[in-house]
Every structure is written in C-alpha cells, then in structure tokens.
Amino acid sequence: MLFIREVVYMVQVILAKIESIERCVNRVKEIYQQGTLEEYLYQDALILNLQRACQQSIDLAMYIVSEKGLGLPKFSREAFKILYENQIISEITCEKMTGIIGFRNIAIHEYQNLDINIIKSIVENDLGDFAAYIKEILKDIEDFQ
C-alpha cells in the first residue's frame, strides 16, 4: 500500500512542476504579444518567466532521476542526459533542454549581458521545446502506471 502512495505522490509532484512550466510558457506568450522588447518591464517579465520555466524543467528532471534511482547528477545538464539514457526523453529533447541551462545561467548571473535578440529568438522559436519535454515526461508517467 505504501508503494501506491509513493507513486501517487511522485505523479502529483511531476504534474505540479509541469503545470508550473506551462503557466510560465503561457505567460511568456501573453507578455510577448502585449508589449515591446524595447520596454524594460516587458523584458524583465519575459526573462523572469523564461527563467522560471527553465528552472522548473531542471527541477523536474532532477526529481525524476532521484525518485527513479537513475543516478546522481553532478550538474543540471547531466539530469537531462540521464533521462535520455533511460529512454524517458528523446535525444533531440535532451539537447534542447540542455541548451536552456545556458540561457538560465546567463539570465541569472549575467543579466546585464542578455541580448534581446536571443530572448526574441527563444520566444519565437523555442517555446515548443518545453511542450515536447512535457509530452515525453507524461508519456513516461503513462508507461510507468
């Protein structure tokens, strides 16, 4: 009986993290449509929500790796690699999600150096990467049950 509770809890945590990622991505889309990237208020709101989506994606990967006992990543990038090696996410998704770590690190540590064109490119071209990641995680949950 304890095992079922553990699985239910794990699924609840995963779904909560997915909901947070989706909320941030949707917020990015809303903000991008409403304002202009030349305005700092919109830049800050976009960057903050992108950063949150990135961090939640990393946290989700680390959580799954930990709960499934798949290893002990030393760096955030390794968590995505472990998910790929265990056929939870695809190689393409692994590469895309690993790439978000670079953006997150710049957003956190080198905010002043963030290029608006990079933010624009992410919003216009890469938000779907979060959806692909979520889809593959949900597929794994479905297979797990």
> For this structure, is 109 an active site residue?
yes
Long-range residue pairs from 36-44, CB within 8 A, at least 24 positions apart, any chain: 37/116, 37/119, 37/120, 38/116, 43/116, 43/119
Q: Output the pLDDT for position 70.
A: 94
Domains of the chain in sequence order: 2-144 (1.20.120.580)
Q: Would you say the pTM of this structure is higher than 0.85? A: yes
Residue 111 is classified by DSSP as: G
Rounded average pLDDT over 34-53: 87
Say how far apart CA 107 and CA 80 lie, in whole Å: 20
Kindly state the percentage of the chain with pLDDT values over 70: 95
| pLDDT one-digit tens code per residue, 111-144 | 667 788 888 889 999 999 999 999 999 998 876 5
The catalytic residue among 27, 52, 77, 109 is 109
Q: Is 77 a catalytic residue?
A: no
Q: 125, 58, 136, 52: which is closest to 93 by C-alpha?
A: 136
- pLDDT tens column, 57-96: 999 999 999 999 999 999 999 999 999 999 999 999 999 9
The reported pLDDT for the residue numbered 133 is 97
Cβ pair 104, 54 in contact under 8 A = yes
Instruction: Give me the catalytic one of 5, 27, 77, 104.
Output: 104
